[in-house]
Amino acid sequence: MKYEAVIGLEVHAQLATKSKLFCPCSTAFGAKPNTNICPVCSGQAGALPVLNKMAVEMAVKSGLALGCTIQEKSIFARKNYFYPDLPKGYQISQYEKPLCLNGHLDIVTDGKLKRVHIQRIHMEEDAGKLLHETGHENFSHVDLNRCSTPLIEIVSGPDLSTPQEAADTYRKLRNILVYLEVCDGNMQEGNLRCDANVSLRPIGAKAFGTRSEIKNVNSFKFLENAIAYEIKRQAEILDGGGKVVQETRLWNQAKQMTTSMRSKEEAHDYRYFPDPDLLPLVVDTLWIEKIKSSLPELPEAKAERFVSDYGLPEQDAQVLTAEKPMAHYFEECIVGFNAPKKIANWIMAELMRELKSRELDITQIKMKPNQLAHMVALIENGTISGAIGKTIFMEMLNSGTDPDKIIEAKGLKQVTDTSTIEIVIDKIIAKETENVQRYKSGKTNVFGFFVGAVMKEMGGKANPKIVNEILRKKLN
């Protein structure tokens, strides 16, 4: 049978606050175990939570950016369950009354625009970390540094139908959150995590099939792989006349498969109820307006501006604005040398290719925007050739050295002195008698061969325009 997949995402983003959601402990990553803890986040008897105002503002920002309605009154509830990484025996999380409802996100997959419904965004505290690799067979260990750091959970509608759409949604969400500076988007450190709900139904059917929830997908690629695997797995079960079990499954990247989590079959009953230690959260219109006015330019608006202000093609603008640091890099380059399309080409072709192959982020490279801008300027004013530009580009990327210094150190300055070029051309014409004959007999396509030979001889430093001119004159 033919099936269609129904996919929804639940994205947890750690808010980029300095302190935790309910206590003043630092949220800094990488501290020694149990050093960023206090009576509140370690669940001591008699300790009480107090809400971090900045976390609320960041959550509201996210809601506004995703077109949600910010709820005037939201409530923190207790989600009750026992686990060693949960000191209080309950997680404080918004449940019945979340902060944001009914937003949307537009994605473009294979050129097709799709509006993805954002059902809700709610605030909650993170759990601590349970460690198993501490060298003890019989014990696990608990580090509470991460415990109670602020999270938002963004829940999409079951609107996605392919792994690619899911990955595009996740990517777009990440970009927006990073744009807003409410989340650093770091998936390795777990600051952004994604769970996917996947089910199948016969094409055309209205009712949803039984879904499984896939956890532990911490990259866009993994998300795509995991969902693709899950669709295949469920289809095989259904084709074989079986039933999909509603369960949580883990993505195993090494084995390229999802596996069922061995949770005890006692059904969870979280017994949510309003946390009496926290007051209702009221966000009034005035506050919302204030937050709204502080929202930065978002990717879509930025892309439009790149088209109108810089005259970039739509496609270029999309690519350059997808990630905030890249858009920022581009604009910094423009400050250095106002040739938007030329710079866009360098970034989109050379720079992005290198970043991809080196698995680097734009923020991690040594080459500064003004250096790239200066190099493009040097090509434009004829100081260097495009080919030399590429050499310099690689050098700048590797070492962060200024282009002028590279040119000087390596003697890469373009040769524009016609007499020097002429000597080389004469030498080559004298050597390549056969090819000269060919050219004269009308096979003008060997012209390129002569240009290449001259450039090679001159280490690529000759001004191609002058080479062309002199060659043409001599050969004709």
Partner 1 sequence: MKKVLEKMIRLARLKLPEEEMNRLTKKTEHVLEYIERLKELNTDDIEPTSHAIEVVNAFREDAATPFSNPKKIVEIAPKSFENLFEVPRVIDEG
Partner 2 sequence: MKVKELSEKLARKEIASVEITESYFKKIEKLNPKLNCYLTLCKESALKTAKESDERRSKGKTLGPLDGIPIALKDIFITEGVKTTCASKILENYNPPYEGTTAAAFKKAGAVLLGKLNMDEFAMGSSNEFSAFGPVKNPWNLDCIPGGSSGGSAAAVAADLCVAATGTDTGGSIRQPAALCNIVGLKPTYGRVTRYGLIAFASSLDQAGPMTKDVTDAALMMNVMAGFDPMDSTSLNVPVPDYTASLTKPINGLKLGIPKEYFIDGIDSEVKQAIEIAAKKYETLGAKVETISLPHTKYAVPAYYIIAPAEASANLARYDGVRFGLRTPKPEDLLDLYEKSRTFGFGPEVTLRIVLGTYVLSTGYYDAYYLKAQKVRTLIKKDFLEALQKVDAILTPTAPTPAFKIGEKTDDPLKMYLSDIFTIPVNLAGLPALSLPCGFSKAGLPIGMQLIGKHLGEEKLFQIGFAYEQATEWHKRRPAL
Query: How many Cβ atoms from other residues are within 10 Å of residue 162's Cβ?
Result: 17
Residues 6+ apart with CB under 8 A from 438: 446
How far apart are alpha carbons 303 and 297 in whole angstroms? 10
Q: Is 94 in the site for partner 2 (CB under 8 A)?
A: no
Instruction: Give the strand pairing for 247-252 and 192-202.
Output: unpaired
The single-letter DSSP state of residue 28 is: -
Nearest to 305 by CA among 337, 334, 346: 334
Binder of partner 2 out of 87, 98, 103, 389 (CB under 8 A): 87
Could you tell which of partner 1, partner 2, none binds residue 78, using a CB distance below 5 to 8 A set by kind?
partner 2
Residue 250 Cβ vs partner 1, minimum distance, rounded to whole Å: 6
> How many residues belong to the site for partner 1 (CB under 8 A)?
60
β 90-94/76-80 pair status: antiparallel
Backbone angles phi, psi at 42, to 5 degrees: -95, 5
Judged by CB under 8 A, does residue 36 bind partner 1?
Answer: yes
Q: Which range of residues in 74-82, 189-197, 301-309, 350-358 is near partner 2 by CB under 8 A? A: 74-82
Find the binding residues for partner 1 in span 144-203 (CB under 8 A): 144
Q: What string marks each residue from 132 to 151 as x (binds partner 2 by CB under 8 A) or -?
A: ----------x---------
Give 137's DSSP letter: S
By a kind-dependent CB cut-off of 5 to 8 A, residue 56 interacts, out of partner 1, partner 2, none, with: partner 1
Among 123, 167, 196, 281, binds partner 1 (CB under 8 A): 281
Residue 54 touches partner 1, criterion: CB under 8 A: yes
The piece of 176-184, 189-197, 239-247, 273-281 that touches partner 2 (CB under 8 A) is 273-281
Phi then psi for residue 94, to 5 deg, are -80, 135
Q: Checking phi first, is residue 382 left (phi over 0); if not, alpha (psi -120 to 50) or beta?
A: left
Asked whether the beta carbons of 336 and 402 are under 8 A apart, the reply is no
Task: Read off the tokens for 51.
Answer: 């809400």
Q: Smallest distance, Å, CB 22 to partner 1?
A: 8
Among 84, 242, 382, 452, contact with partner 2 (rule: CB under 8 A): 84
Which residues lie near partner 1 (CB under 8 A)? 17-19, 24-28, 32-39, 42, 44, 50-56, 73, 75, 82, 84, 130-132, 134, 136-144, 215-216, 248, 250, 261-263, 266, 269, 271, 273-274, 276, 278-282
